[in-house]
Amino acid sequence: MIASALRARVTDPKLFDNGRHLSAWIGIVPENDSTGGKVKQKGLSKKGDRYLRSLLINGAMAVVRHSQIRPDKHPWVTKLLGRMSKKQAAIAIANKTARIAWAIMVHGGVYQAGHRAPHYRAEACVAAG
């Protein structure tokens, strides 16, 4: 349902320079207030597509609930929940989902859980050593 809504609302994903711009258009990134070199991040801007934002956040809340039942299935979410509230974690997951969706729409392909881009895999292999 989320994928079809994204496809219907985002007619040309190449209009966005990157996934963050799509997330900002949807309204799931913090609003910035910068002055004199000081950067302050406020809450969500809530500007943008209310329907897509609600779908992504509701889906992310389902992931959060499922990760509390099965923490072994979602270790990344479990780490997030150790640092922040459930709602903040859901916003982070929704943001990540929107960015992944943008990458798939622009570059094509199929989503693979746990997939990493080649340059990230190379860095991980060097770090592991």
- Domain boundaries of the chain, sorted by first residue: 2-128
Q: Average pLDDT for residues 75-81, to the nearest whole number?
A: 89
Q: Is 48 exposed, middle or buried (0-12, 13-18, 19+ CB in 10 A)?
A: middle
Residue 2 CA to residue 55 CA, distance in Å, equals 6
Average pLDDT, the chain: 82
Q: In sequence order, what are the residues at sequence separation of 6 or more whose Cβ sits closer than 8 angstroms to the Cβ of residue 59?
A: 2, 94, 97
> Which band of pLDDT confidence, cut at 50, 70 and 90, is reported for residue 117?
low
Element (H, E) at 30: strand 30-35
> Which band of pLDDT confidence, cut at 50, 70 and 90, is reported for residue 110?
confident
Q: Average pLDDT for residues 95-118, to the nearest whole number?
A: 80
Residue 4 has pLDDT above 90, yes or no: no
pLDDT for residue 118: 59
pLDDT for residue 49: 79
Q: What is the pLDDT of residues 13-67, one digit of tens each?
A: 888 899 889 988 898 887 777 777 787 777 776 677 789 989 999 999 999 999 9
